[in-house]
Every structure is written in structure tokens, then in C-alpha cells.
Amino acid sequence: MTSPTDAAISAPLFGPEMLADPYPVYRRLRETDPVHWHEPFGAWVLTRYHDVVAALNDPRFSAERTGAMQALTGRPELKPFFDFLAVRMLFTDPPRHTRLRGLVSKAFTPHAVEAMRSHIQTLVDQFLDRVRPQGQMDVIADLAYPLPVTVIIEMLGVPTRDRERLKRWSDEFVVYFSKAPNEVTPEEYATAARAVAAEEDYFRAAVAHLRTAAEPGLLGGMARAEEAGDRLTEQELYANANLLLTAGHETTTNLIGNGTLAMLRHPDQLEKLRADPSLLPAAIEEFLRFDAPVQFTHRVAKENVTIGDKLIRRGQFVYLILAAANRDPDRFADPDRLDITRKDNHHVAFGQGPHFCLGAPLARLEAQIAFAALLRQFPAFRLAADRVAYRPTFNLRGLQSLPVAFERTSGPGAGRNE
């Protein structure tokens, strides 16, 4: 089943050299073997836009893939960990997916999210006020991370003072999602399992309080739904609280970081945005397309499916490379060029179909407010490092830090133009 190009492609795919720039490898795959059997992963890899979109919308490809993920690890003792993953809505098909998503979807509608604009603006201003007198900041540590994690913790209804330990558990947990399943080490899985256990204990204690709270937040609301007969099990409750916490900040952190770096590396586009702030919504869509915060998702074939001239057999694992689809020249003109005025920008950074990212409206709003504040309050900010380092993960693509410098000012509110 090995393809003619396997020897040329297998070695670099998700190797360390891809961290700084994965797109040449994606391009080579898309051009030479777009429906690629990758022997080291025991899985198919799809890189063309129309193939990825079709698979995201095709019910023959199942999101219920944790069993296949465990099988790829070759470690039966990890079953409890994968059982926990299996009840997160991310890994379910209808009707379970429909029921789980329905329990939280109202909190993420465009109308509900827009009502949060003023509070998110206040948070952004507070974070920028802290660094203003320094004349420099780390965009990741000082803004891109604390903003979305604070918002999602507040939405869940747990204390923001617990932000750092919740973030630590989240970081330890997502390692399973950051690599190919068979490349995660036993030690990393053990760390992820311990993080899950600690987080479950935390949520169990929080739920005991929130069940009767006047403002229960999402976590308490999900717990009450269980009591109302929606058949939400305790494991479903904690697993999906974990999902909301993790997904609620990882994507937005990477969007703000990757987008800021893209602006700084493309000064012509940055100047366009400074000159015309009305371009910001389109710019955010281009940042998402150009350097996707989530690089891929995966599915399992429920039956034999033919794509092009390749037969994907029932039960086989399939990687859908969202970031490669977003650079497909058959869909996007001059795809390796950042263009904040790009039209018809129907990227798949947030997925598509039934599993389209629930938090996309929130991520877009947080990014819009953060970028607008940076451009308005620090109009001459610039990169303050010769090189930047990416987190050592492939799926959740984001920077470890992003130092920038700007004109030092004192006093809160400078440059807000409120």
C-alpha cells in the first residue's frame, strides 16, 4: 500500500524541521500524492481542499475515532484515557453529538457572544495597561493567552484565580492531540491521564457548588441539564467541560499570536490595516487561512470510500490537513501570499460540517478586539526578536512567545480613543 512517493515524504512529515514552517511539506504532498498512505502512522493523509471539505461533510467518515487512536498507540492500558476522550462531543457522531452540542450551543451564538464585547474590551485594555509603561510585551504571555483563558473560565463559572492550574492541566492534556497517536510517548500519555484526573476532581467540587448557584455558568448549566433528564452522564459532564476549557483558549491564543506575527512579517499588509481598520474582519479570516491555529483533524472510515484513485478501507484512520487545504492553489489564488483583502475566503481553519467549531464566533470577536487594541494603542509596535520559537506541537500550531516593542507611555487608557 506504500505509494511511490512514500520514501520521499515519510521522513519529514511532522518531523522537527516542520515546526518553523510546515507548508513546504504540505505543498509537496498535495502536488505529488494528495491522497497519501503514510505507513509510519498507519493512516491516510488528505491535503487537497476539495477532498478535505468533502470528508468533513461525509457521514461515511466518523468522528468516533478514539478506538482507532488507541489502536495506533498499541497500548491497551490506555483504555480509560480514551474512554474519557470518547464522550467529548469532538469525538462523537449524531445523535450523541447533536445532544451534547445542544447543551452548550446557546452560549456561543453570534448574539450571545456579541453581548460579551464590552467585557472582552475591558479585559484587553487591562492587559495592555499592565505592559504600557514597559515599552515591550510578550504578545503570548501578556495578551494572547490570558484573554481567552480568562473568558472561558468565566463562562464556565469557575474562579479566575484558578486560571494557572487549569491552564497547566490543559497543556499537559492536549499532548495527545498535538502529535500522531503512535508518536505520543507513554510518559506523555501518563501525564495527560494525571491531568485529566486532577481536572475531574476540580470540576466535581465546582459542580457541587454550581448546581445551586444563582449564576451557574456553563458548567453548572450542564450539570442541571443532567438533572433535568437530558441523560448527561458524569463522565460526559467532565469530559465536555474539559473540551470547552481547552478549545476555548487554545485556538484563540494561537490565532492572536500567529496573526500578529504574520502582520509583523508582512509590513505592507500591516500598513494597509493601520490605514484602514475596517479591513480587520477580513484580515482575521486571512490570518486563519494563512497559518491555521489547528493544523489538522482526523476521522475513521465507516465503510470503503474511494477518493481519486485511492481506496480508503473501512476502519482506516484519515488525517484531514486543514492547513494544507487552506493553501491549495486550486481554491485560493496565490495561496502562500498573505492578503488581508482576499475575497471569497472560505477557509477550513474552523472545520466544516457538523463539527464546525462551536466557539468560532467567540474566537473571532476576541481576536478582533485584541488586534484593534494593539493597532490603536501601540501604532508603531515591532518585533523585538531575531527569531521566534513555536511550541513543540504540530496540530495546535502556536508560538512559545512573541516579544514586541513599542513606544513607552504611562497611565491607563493611553491610545484607547474611547
For residue 2, the model assigns a pLDDT of: 44
**1 located within any domain:** no
- Residue 349: name the closest of 237, 262, 245, 268 by CA: 262
**414 located within any domain:** no
Tell me which DSSP letter residue 293 carries: S
Q: Specify the number of domains making up the chain.
A: 1
For residue 28, the model assigns a pLDDT of: 93
Give the count of alpha carbons within 13 A of 224, CB side only. Answer: 14
CA distance 323 to 336: 11
Instruction: DSSP for 61-112, please give it.
Output: EES--HHHHHHHHT-GGGHHHHHHHHTSGGG--TTHHHHHHHHHGGGGSHHH
- The CATH number linked to 224 is 1.10.630.10
For residue 8, the model assigns a pLDDT of: 41
**411 located within any domain:** no
User: Is 259 in contact with 140 (CB distance < 8 Å)?
Assistant: no
Q: Are strands 35-38 and 310-312 parallel, antiparallel or unpaired?
A: unpaired
**417 located within any domain:** no
**415 located within any domain:** no
For residue 412, the model assigns a pLDDT of: 63
Q: What is residue 18's three-state secondary structure?
A: helix
For residue 414, the model assigns a pLDDT of: 60
Contacts of residue 130, defined as CB under 8 A and 6 or more positions apart, other chains included, come to 142
For residue 5, the model assigns a pLDDT of: 45
User: Is 111 in contact with 362 (CB distance < 8 Å)?
Assistant: no
**410 located within any domain:** no
**413 located within any domain:** no
Q: What is the mean pLDDT of each run of 10 residues along the chain (418 residues)?
A: 45 77 94 94 95 98 92 84 93 93 89 95 98 96 96 94 92 77 79 92 92 87 73 87 91 97 97 97 98 96 97 97 98 98 97 95 97 96 94 90 90 59
3-state secondary structure 342-389: CCCCCCCCCCCHHHCCCCHHHHHHHHHHHHHHHHHHCCCCEECCCCCC
Give the domain range for residue 270: 6-405
CA distance 105 to 100: 9
